[in-house]
Structure formats: C-alpha cells, structure tokens
Chains A and B, each alone.
Chain A
C-alpha cells in the first residue's frame, strides 16, 4: 500500500509564528492534498498538488501556502499562525487501494 507520513504529529505554537507541516510519500504518486478537519465541518480542502511545482487552492486556502519541490514531499506553511488555524490537518494522496485515496495519520496543531 502507498506509504504516507505526516510530521509533526502534534504541535503547539504561538500566534504570529510561522509553521510548516510536512507530508511525505514513498511512492511516486502525482496528486497530493492537504485538508483540515474541524468539528461540524468535516474535512475541507486547503491546497492540492498535481505535480512538482504544480499546486492550486482549495476551499479554505486563505492564510496557507504550499510547496512541492519533489514528488515525495508536499509542505503546508502557515505564514503567521492564528488561533482560527487550530485544527487537525490531514494529508492525502491519490494512490493505494481502497477507493484510491490514502490518508496520513494527521497533525494536531494548536495555536495559542
């Protein structure tokens, strides 16, 4: 199955600081996605990538940027974290069995 890891698993940061979350895949899947999950909202798409240096915005992209300089890594950056960005962040790839999508284990980010 497709290997996907997220780091860190948990992070507490202060308002106004930059934060970068990493998503790493071990197979050369083209499509990668960042979602955030909040109570009452399900999973909402932040940004996605369809290849190296090819990215686009999702539904809730304000305050976030992404980069994909290598196929295996998709980085999500909060340029200046705010309390409203406290959430659980999931990375996903289009690859693997079971509907074709594989999710990372998530990063729980708390902005204080």
Chain B
C-alpha cells in the first residue's frame, strides 16, 4: 500500500521567513509526486514532480524530488500572510490513479 508522510504537521513563521516542507513516500510503482495548496476550499495544484533532481519553480515557491531517497521538499521564500494554508503532498499511484495524500502541513504566517 502506498504511503505518504509529511512533516512537520504544523508550522508557524513570521513574514519574510523561508520555510521547507517535507514529503517522504513509499510507493510501489512511482509515477509522480504532486504538491497542492489548500486554503479554505478545494486543493489547488502547485507542482508535479517526475524526475529526480530537477527543481520546479513558481515565483517564491519551488520543489524538488529525490527518487533515490524517496522524498520531496517544498520551499517557500520570503513568506507572506497569503501563504498561510495547508500544503498537501500526494502520490497518484498505480491502477486507477487514485491519489494518496499525506496528512498535510498547516503553515501559518504571522505579520
């Protein structure tokens, strides 16, 4: 059974700080790893990672995958209060592509 573990489960930082969120996974047939941001409603897509060592970047957010060590990190630089959210890591798995999610990291950015 596929497993996705995120850490930390919650994090409080001040505006301007840089944060690193972690995601480790154990999957039978790796396809990709997905990162989502969830504010008060549906998760919104951030990144899809398929290749090891290649950084994906979008503004102040970036993510990288290490397929050898089976983990991914999500970095947010110069955090803003608008970054406050739950960040979810997910594995699409094999078969019918059902997503297995980690428990998420709740990030709170205080002014």
Give me the interface of A with B, judged by CB distance under 8 Å: 31, 33, 35, 40-45, 48, 50, 56, 58, 90, 92, 94, 97-101, 103-106
Q: Would A42 and B97 be within 8 Å (CB), given that A90-B42, A105-B42 are in contact?
A: no
Instruction: Please name the 6 residue pairs, one residue from A and one from B, whose CB atoms are nearest each other, closest first.
Output: A98-B45, A103-B42, A42-B103, A42-B101, A99-B45, A43-B101
For A97, give the chain B residue with the smallest CB separation: B45
Q: How far apart are B36's CB and chain A's nearest CB, in angstroms?
A: 8
Tell me if B43 counts as interface (CB < 8 A to partner A).
yes
Q: Which residues from chain B contact A56 at a C-beta distance below 8 Å?
A: 96
Dominant secondary structure of chain B at its interface with chain A: loop
For A6, give the chain B residue with the smallest CB separation: B42
Measured CA separation A106–B98 after assembly (Å): 18
Q: How far apart are B65's CB and chain A's nearest CB, in angstroms?
A: 14
Measured CA separation A97–B98 after assembly (Å): 17
Q: How far apart are B29's CB and chain A's nearest CB, in angstroms?
A: 16
Q: How far apart are B13's CB and chain A's nearest CB, in angstroms?
A: 21
Q: How far apart are B47's CB and chain A's nearest CB, in angstroms?
A: 8
Dominant secondary structure of chain A at its interface with chain B: strand
* Interface contact B43-A43, CB-CB below 8 Å: yes
For A98, give the chain B residue with the smallest CB separation: B45
* Interface contact A41-B42, CB-CB below 8 Å: no
Q: Would A94 and B42 be within 8 Å (CB), given that A43-B88, A99-B34 are in contact?
A: no
* Interface contact A33-B43, CB-CB below 8 Å: no
Q: Would A41 and B103 be within 8 Å (CB), given that A101-B45, A103-B42 are in contact?
A: yes
Measured CA separation A99–B58 after assembly (Å): 14
Q: Which residues from chain A contact B99 at a C-beta distance below 8 Å?
A: 33, 35, 43, 45, 92, 101
Q: Which residues from chain B contact A31 at a C-beta distance below 8 Å?
A: 96-97
